[in-house]
Amino acid sequence: MLTHLQKGKNGEDMAIQLLKRRGYRIRCQNWRHKNLEVDIVAEDGNILVFVEVKTRTSPAYGMPYEFVDVAKQAKLVRAANHYIATNQYGGEIRFDVVSILYSEENKTYDTRLIKDAFWPD
């Protein structure tokens, strides 16, 4: 049985594969600034995309994407602002979510990309 951290790491690896298949160029994974983190920073065409990856083993309490709540969105926006300032980026941005449901029984990952999942207030 996979640990919580292994499931999350495998989920991020699956997300990167999905994004690459969709034509994204991965800039970095697990970008950090103090207590803030962005799972994946990528480019989709000329758009800089901040991607949150959520992996769950059961939809019993909701789908993985439903756990990117307002508080998590606010942290992602703060992290994105630091990334933009650090890298002196001046172009268009977007926030995507990759929702992953892992089946322990089948050892499979059901992945779903949600483009433009939210926009900061």
Check if the beta carbon of residue 113 is closer than 8 Å to that of residue 22: yes
Give 22's contacts (C-beta < 8 A, 6+ positions apart): 44, 113
Q: What is the pTM of this model?
A: 0.92
The class (CATH top level) of 4-118 is alpha beta
Are the CB atoms for 23 and 115 separated by under 8 Å?
no
Positions of E strands within the chain: 25-33, 36-44, 47-56, 93-103, 108-118
Q: What is the pLDDT of residues 39-67, one digit of tens each?
A: 999 999 999 999 999 998 888 888 889 99
Single-letter amino acid, residue 99? S
Paired sense of beta strands 93-103 and 108-118, if any: antiparallel
Mind listing the pLDDT tens digit for each residue in 9-35? 888 999 999 999 999 999 999 999 999
pLDDT of amino acid 96: 98
Report whether pLDDT(4) > 80: no
Give the list of residues 6+ apart from residue 8 with CB closer than 8 angstroms, or none: 53, 55
pLDDT of residue 2: 64
Res 57: pLDDT: 85
What value does the mean pLDDT take over residues 75-89? 97
